[in-house]
Structure 1
Amino acid sequence: MSPKPPVWAYSLPTALLLMAPFDILASLAMDIYLPIVPAMPGILGTSPAIVQLTLSIYMVMLGLGQIIFGPVSDRFGRRPVLVSGAILFAAASFCLAASSTAVPFIALRFLQAVGASAAMVATFATVRDVYADRPESVVIYSLFSSMLAFVPALGPIAGALLADSFGWRSIFVVLGILAVLATLQAQLRWHETRPRRATLSRRSFLPVLRSLAFWTYTLGFSAAMGTFFVFFSTAPSVLIDRAGYSELEFSLAFATAAVVMIMTTRFAKRFVARWGTSGSLARGMAMLLLGAGLLSIGQVFGNPSFWTFIVPMWVMAIGIVFTGSVTANGALEEFGDIAGSAVALYFCVQSLIVSIGGTLAVIWLRGDTAWPLATFSSIMAVVVLIAQGWLHDRDRLRT
């Protein structure tokens, strides 16, 4: 059997239009929901801690589900995993729109996350299959980051407008409709890219877990994504509850951080070319530390506001882009023959660190202050820089 996958004949723009909706929907299911988070305890008749669980469980299952679907996609293919996950996501979204109590709502968020995780791992495994050894790899990861930056920019605004005009249930109806449309397009145009040798591979997760490069770059990705997770977990309380913003004002302020990400992403290819993968990661961590310092100063000497909470996040948003542009290639470079499993582990580890570490930061520290964000980001950035130092020392000894 040939180890080469079928040729992915689409141009880069066409491929992005085909693949991006699934990655965007996985993120949109988080961000479009944010403006109604403060109101959900009353809607569901539960506590704010349970509503926080609906955010956290989504992140946990987004990662854990990929441990299952990564190897499944290596064995049975990317296409069936993608289509099945997208159908589950759509069905769970429609059912969420019909729910009205906490327990079914949490269970359906769990199923929505399982569907999103299957679609995500199939999408990124396809990217790895097709573009790993092509110069478009940096471009496509940067473009994915750029498009995903639109989600936190527009998602909360769209959620606020939908909730104001049609009620909170319309948010989940829209997610379901978008998932159905993306699935129909995939049914017609998405063909299999899995290398045939993957069906014969008996390799486990162990080679991935033993890789210092995998851990260094996966921790970097976790630091970047976790920073954004803690930001959107605390931003509604900081800006709506304490600073007195309306839902639309909150959404517009929240969107400015994503706009900074979009603007930075425009130059991501230039950054990577100049600094390399390792240099881009180091600079990303430095920006997270700088942003955490500014948040701490604002928390101690100021009141919750756009200038003390959102502007420091602009600095951190730049670091998120620096980091996200290089971590996938850095973590997965050695594992082309088991790309599905490696991608699954990459996202699983990231999701667990983000959901558990980020949630603990929000719960243990005051969730209506800047401390959870400043603490999580600074600790993770320091850990990544230490791991990167070990990786450099190891590589130097080998040469």
Structure 2
Amino acid sequence: MPDRNSLTWSYSLPAALLLMAPFDILASLAMDIYLPVVPDMPAILGTSPAVVQLTLSLYMLLLGLGQLLFGPLSDRVGRRPVLLGGATLFALASLGLAATTSAPVFVALRLVQAAGASAALVATFATVRDVYGARPEGVTIYGLFSAMLSFVPALGPIAGALISGAFGWRAIFLTLAMLGLAALGQALPRWSETRPDAAAPMRPRFRPMLASGAFWTYTLGFSTAMGAFFVFFSTAPRLLIDRAGYSQLGFSLAFATAAVVMIIATRFARGFVTRYGTSGCLARGMALIILGGLLLGAGEASAVPSFQSFVLPMWVIAFGIVMSASVTANGALKAFDAIAGTAVALYFSIQSLIVSLIGTGAVLLLGGDTAWPLVGYCLGMATITLLALAFLNRSENR
């Protein structure tokens, strides 16, 4: 890591987290705060549930694929301009979403919103790699980011239900716009440039990552973990509100319990890494996701949708998500600090591509108002990841 990063980024760890975390949180909040009104959006926009599903799936897809542009761009022009531009785009798109009831315009603005979130997200994580990649604080900051992100799915749907209930669905997007502008206002005077001088390739250099078995294995693990949660929140509103008869607030509270489990699990993540190592944590995380998937399948086959048959098995999956996600970034990216922006971009874009295509495919093909999409995704992706990990470990031990 260049010495100048220690000079230009001299914030204490709490101050750095307060500066960086809002951009990471907003990218997720734009998904979760919207969930309670998803069943109402087809009537509001005059369209079908499949189109409304696109507002979730395309957001996830572009959130990742946009980083193929913004990651290398941040390596070339710097983290700061990419972050500030992305935050501005996010806030403006959120304002536009609050002002329209046209389905095509709504979908288009969700894509713009995702592009802004994508730019801010990749610049944030590239800054973390620049400043903390070789420091002990690196493990801490990833763990704290995971803990903060656990609060988003816990509180986001509840906040969305309360905001929409009191002020209407448009207020959800106005809230996102105001939060984006607040984060931007904080970053403008304080976010200093951290890009290493050597990290300015004329062309994106994806080949080193694509040729790395560790990069692929841990990116698959990250995709499995994030995809499990994506399929959960894609199916949960229809299953719990439409089939189980939950109110918006009741759904949000039930949904939040899975996130609370993630928050609790995050408190133990550092200990798990110390005890089991990177590979051991990923293997145990995948095993828990498979176990949760089996429990979900048994619940769907033998019971009507309920908290016990759908949400409780998700607690097991949530614990596996945290165990996996606590190690996947370092496992995938540790060899690529010199091109951190590009490496982070490819890591997130592959994850988003897998999640959006395979996750959405599972929802559309296996029944979006049942647990089967989540069962299929968890069992299939976790098994593939465990096979890749076994092959990687065998290769490294030769």
Q: TM-score, normalised by structure 2?
A: 0.98
Residue 378 of structure 1 is matched in structure 2 by 379
Aligned equivalents of 1:307 and 1:351: distance in 2?
30
Other-structure match for 2:78? 77
Q: Which whole-Å CA distance do the structure 2 matches of 1:203 and 1:317 have between them? A: 34
Residues 44 and 102 of structure 1 are in contact (CA less than 8 Å); yes or no, is this contact kept in structure 2? yes
Q: Answer whether contact 1:121 1:340 (CA < 8 A) is retained.
A: yes
- The 10-residue stretch of structure 1 (199-208 or 50-59) with the greater mean CA deviation from structure 2: 199-208
Tell me how far apart the structure 1 counterparts of residues 358 and 373 of structure 2 sit (CA, whole Å).
10
1:236 — aligned with what? 237
- What is the 5 A alignment of 1:319-338? 319-338=320-339
Q: Secondary structure in 2 aligned to 1:192?
A: coil
**Hey, what does 1:290 align to over in structure 2?**
291
Structure 1 partner of 2:271: 270
Deviation per CA, 1:306-326: give whole Å up to 9, x if none. 000000000000000001100
Tell me if the contact between 2:85 and 2:116 (Cα under 8 Å) persists in the aligned partners. yes
Deviation at 1:87, TM superposition (A): 0.1
Q: Specify the SS of the correspondent of 1:17.
A: helix
Counterpart residue type for residue 46 of structure 1 = T
1:103 equivalent in structure 2: 104
Q: C-alpha separation between the residues in 1 aligned to 2:204 and 2:317? A: 37
Match of 1:249 in 2: 250
Query: CA RMSD for the aligned pairs?
Result: 1.0
- Deviations 1:151-172 (Å, cap 9, x if unpaired)? 0000000000010000000000
How many angstroms apart in 1 are the aligned matches of 2:5 and 2:130?
Answer: 10
Output the CA distance in 2 between the equivalents of 1:223 and 1:201: 32
Q: For residues 190-243 of structure 1, what are the alpha-carbon distances to aligned partners after superposition, in whole Å with 9 as ceiling and x for unaligned?
A: 101111111257671011111000000000000000000000000001100000
Q: Distance in 2 between matches of 1:30 and 1:202?
A: 32
> In the alignment, what sits opposite 1:16?
17
- Give the letter for the 1:130 counterpart: V
The separation in 2 between residues aligned to 1:396 and 1:169, in whole angstroms, is 56
Quickly say closer, same or farther: Cα 1:3–1:146, change in 2 above 3 A. closer
Structure 1 segment 316-395 matched on structure 2, within 5 A: 316-395=317-396
**Aligned position for 2:5:** 6
**Cα pair 1:291 1:312 within 8 Å, conserved:** yes
- C-alpha displacement of 1:4: 4.0
Q: Count the aligned residue pairs.
A: 396
Deviation at 1:136, TM superposition (A): 1.2
- Tell me how far apart the structure 1 counterparts of residues 249 and 52 of structure 2 sit (CA, whole Å): 20
Separation in 2 of the partners of 1:57 and 1:65? 11
Mapped to 2, the partners of 1:377 and 1:369 lie a distance apart of 14
d(CA) in 2 for partners of 1:247, 1:235: 11
C-alpha distance in 2 between matches for 1:207 and 1:78: 21
Distance 1:371 1:27 in 2: 24
Q: Deviations over 1:346-392 (max 9, x none)?
A: 00000000001000000000111110001001100000000001101
CA contact (8 A) 1:3 1:197 kept: no
Partner SS, residue 14 of structure 1:
helix
For 2:140 and 2:236, how far apart are their aligned partners in 1?
31
**For the structure 1 residues 196 and 43, does the alpha-carbon distance in structure 2 shift closer, same or farther, using more than 3 Å as the test?**
same
Unaligned runs of 5+ in 2: none
Identity percentage over the alignment?
66
SS at match of 1:204: coil
In structure 1, distance between residues paired with 2:291 and 2:378 = 10
SS in structure 2 opposite 1:10? coil
Alpha-carbon separation, structure 2, partners of 1:326 and 1:160 = 33
Partner of 2:38 in structure 1? 37
SS of residue in 2 equivalent to 1:368: coil
Question: Which residue pairs with 2:52 in the alignment?
Answer: 51
Q: Is the counterpart of residue 136 in structure 1 residue 129 in structure 2? A: no
Question: Mind listing any 5+ residue stretches in structure 1 that lack a counterpart?
Answer: none
Answer yes or no: is the 8 Å Cα contact 1:38–1:236 preserved in 2.
yes
Match of 1:197, SS state, is coil
Residue of structure 2 equivalent to 1:62: 63
Task: Output the CA distance in 1 between the equivalents of 2:137 and 2:362.
Answer: 37
Give the AA of the match of 2:217: T
CA deviation after TM superposition for structure 1 residue 33, in Å: 0.2
Superposition deviation, residue 6 in structure 1 = 2.5
Instruction: Give the aligned residue type for 1:244.
Output: G
SS at match of 1:196: coil
Query: CA–CA distance in 2 between the matches of 1:252 and 1:135?
Result: 36
Alignment-mate amino acid for residue 397 of structure 2: R
| Deviating more after overlay: 6-15 vs 243-252 | 6-15
Equivalent-residue separation in structure 2 for 1:132 and 1:139 (angstroms): 11
Q: Distance in 1 between matches of 2:105 and 2:153?
A: 26
1:3 Cα deviation after fit:
4.6
Aligned counterparts of 2:336 and 2:250: Cα–Cα separation in 1:
45
Equivalent position amino acid for 1:81 in 2: V
In 2, Cα distance between equivalents of 1:61 and 1:90: 16
1:5–1:330 distance in 2 versus 1, CA, 3 Å: farther
* Aligned amino acid, residue 304 of structure 2: N
Distance change (3 Å), C-alpha of 1:199 and 1:4: farther
